[in-house]
Every structure is written in C-alpha cells, then in structure tokens.
Structure 1
C-alpha cells in the first residue's frame, strides 16, 4: 500500500494497480457507502466527511469512509482538521471501464423506483 504523504496525518491509500474489483464491489454493496459515492460523483468536488448527513454514529461513519478509502474508491486528505474526500474516478475508469457509471446509473434508477431519491 502507498501513503499520501510521509507525515503522521497521512492516510493509506492503495495505488491504482492495487485496487481490486472485489474490494470495490464489496464497498459499493453497502447502501450508505453507495450513497456517499453517489453524492461525491454528483458534486464532483472535495467534500468533508461532515458534509454527509448519515443516520449513523461518527465512529461508524469513520468506518464507512475507511472502507471506501481502502477499496480505492475515494482519496482522503486532511485540510486543516477536516478530512476531505474525492472520488477516484480516473483510477476506477481506467481499471474498470464503465463500471462506476453503470453502478451509479443503476443506483439512481433504483432510488427513483423505490422513492429513495
């Protein structure tokens, strides 16, 4: 695994070549993590963890973001005391062409169908 920077606050991220399909699919299988990815994709910007209003505790939110980061779906960096997240779209599109767009389209269709939009 690689790290973002050689300091104590650096977060471990997999290098592009270390990202595995089964890890990505596992991370996306959770509805809350999928919601986070959908929002990151729609905003196309860095978003802090506190931006997301998830119906779970802070420690559980931290767990979900760690799963997304370790699977290679998001890049997290500290900006002051806040952790910001950005979707690793370029890496995912290079490794698994069309996967992210297909998952996001299917999730949007499901949300419309079930009234979860």
Structure 2
C-alpha cells in the first residue's frame, strides 16, 4: 500500500540563502511557528497560529515558505507531518542569526 504522505524538497545547507531565511522569519505568524519549534519537533497539527481563524491553506503556505527557505524540515510521519527547526543547519550557515532573531522577537 502506497503512503498517502509524500516527501517534500528541502534545500541543502549550502543552498540556503540569507535573504530567503530573513524573508521567512519576517512574518509574525511564521516567526511564531519557529518559536514553537525552538522547543523541539512537533506534529504539524500541534503548531498553532495566533489567529485560529486563519485558513488551513494559509497555514500550509506559511510552512512552505519556512521549508523552502531552509528554516524548518517538514517530513512525513504516519499519515501526518512532523516539523522540526533546522537549528544546526542555520547555525552552521548563518552563525548566531537564529538566536538573535528569537531573542529579539521574545522582547517585542
């Protein structure tokens, strides 16, 4: 029986671009997702947006922008998806960036 959930493309560490990462982190809802994932991997259904009225399609788009920038990894887990922050890749590619952004956003 074929899996209902497919693998999604993720950029290699060397292909991550600073402008893409900064754009992904510039949206308050995407940044909120990153803050949630800073505590460890979560099932996609466990990630909550600040506005529960935001449609699922918008939530999916937010995740896509983060994934395509290389900020998160979005992998199949059973019939759902597991999200994790690519902390090690971000730190290796852009040292101190993620910590600075998360620290600054916590003070706002």
TM-score w.r.t. the length of structure 2 is 0.90
Q: Which runs of 4+ in 1 moved over 3 A?
A: none
Secondary structure at 1:83 match in 2: strand
Give the drift of 1:52: 1.8
Contact 2:43 2:80 in 1 (8 A): yes
Secondary structure at 2:84 match in 1: strand
Give the drift of 1:10: 1.1
Q: Identify the residue that residue 86 of structure 1 maps to in structure 2.
A: 84
Structure 1 unaligned blocks of 5 or more: 1-7, 111-117
Contact 2:73 2:84 in 1 (8 A): yes
Aligned length: 101
> What is the root-mean-square deviation of aligned Cα atoms in Å?
1.0
1:54-73 aligned at under 5 Å gives the runs 54=49, 55=51, 56-73=54-71
